[in-house]
């Protein structure tokens, strides 16, 4: 399967701990997006990478959040000093170049902060 993969699929952590998620996009896709989805809501945009450059960040991305995409391949999303409000599904999507191309989503990482 050559779709978008995310690791881990589930993460339970205690409040105050740091967590890191990984996303492997479809190999030829140079666009990568992170979204967050809470229960009963649609996904919300967090940040966008074009190759290795982080070109857009949502106001939702507080200074406890950092994302990277070294070498324009896989991406990581780190949350420092987690809070209970960070509990959500974190989704990664990738797409090829172009204004109308669809985004391909991964299965997501479910984060639970206790």
Partner 1 sequence: DAKTTQPNSMESNEEEPVHLPCNHSTISGTDYIHWYRQLPSQGPEYVIHGLTSNVNNRMASLAIAEDRKSSTLILHRATLRDAAVYYCILRDGTTNAGGTSYGKLTFGQGTILTVHP
The smaller minimum CB distance to partner 1, of residues 18 and 55, is found at: 55
Q: Closest by alpha carbon to 105, among 2, 47, 25?
A: 25
Contact 109, 17 (CB under 8 A): no
Alpha-carbon torsion 33, 13, 15, 113, what sign?
positive
Q: Do 94 and 104 touch, CB atoms closer than 8 A?
A: yes
Which is nearer to partner 1, 60 or 81 (by Cβ)?
Answer: 60
Question: In the complex, which residues of this chain contact partner 1 (CB under 8 A)?
Answer: 4, 31, 33, 35, 41-45, 48, 50, 55-56, 91, 93, 95, 99-108
Minimum distance, C-beta of residue 88 to partner 1, in the bound complex (Å): 13
CB-wise, 3 or 16, nearer to partner 1? 3
Question: Least distance from C-beta 37 to partner 1, angstroms?
Answer: 8
């Amino acid at each position: 399967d050559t779709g978008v993969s995310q690791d881990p699929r589930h993460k339970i952590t205690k409040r105050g701990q740091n967590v890191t998620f990984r996303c492997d996009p479809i190999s030829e896709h140079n666009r990568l997006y992170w979204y967050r989805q809470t229960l009963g809501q649609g996904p919300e945009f967090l940040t966008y990478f074009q190759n290795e450059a982080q070109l857009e960040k949502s106001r939702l991305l507080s200074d406890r959040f950092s994302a990277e995409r070294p070498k324009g391949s896989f991406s990581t999303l780190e949350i420092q000093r987690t809070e209970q409000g960070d509990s959500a599904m974190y989704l990664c999507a990738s797409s090829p170049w172009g204004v109308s191309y669809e985004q391909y989503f991964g299965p997501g990482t479910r984060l639970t902060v206790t």
